[in-house]
Amino acid sequence: MLVAMFMHTPTDTYEWTLFGISAAFQALALPVLAFVTGVQRQRREKAINKTHRLVIEELALIRKQQTELKKLISFEEDHFKRVTLEIADLGDKVEEIDKQTLL
């Protein structure tokens, strides 16, 4: 505002009136803009904190599910090994029975 005044100084009543209205409007608008900016910042921080909390909760749930899945996979692998050994034992027994029946 002051820079504009140095470039062109109001010379008549009309220009001084426009200058005064412009200065008053800016003086009134600045605190309103600062207030609105503060409110928006608070809303944004609130939304960010809520999102962060939800993401952390989701991460904890995913980690819990991951642990449970690892346990389940381990159980299934052990079960698969036992079944494979049982099938191999049964195959050996079938071969013995076949040999005995052929003799």
pTM of the full predicted structure?
0.54
- For residue 31, is it within any domain? yes
Rounded Cα distance between 47 and 13, Å, is 50
6 belongs to a structural domain: no
Alpha-carbon distance values, 41 to 35, 38, 55, 57, 72 (Å): 10, 5, 21, 24, 46
Per-residue pLDDT tens for 39-77? Answer: 999 999 999 999 999 999 999 999 999 999 999 999 999
Residue 95 domain-assigned (yes or no)? yes
Query: Hey, what are 7's tokens?
Result: 């470039």
Domain range for 92: 11-102
Which of residues 68 and 91 earns the better pLDDT score? 68
Q: Is 80 a domain residue?
A: yes
Contact 19, 5 (CB under 8 A): yes
> 């944004």: which residue's tokens?
44
The secondary structure element, H or E, covering residue 5 is helix 2-7
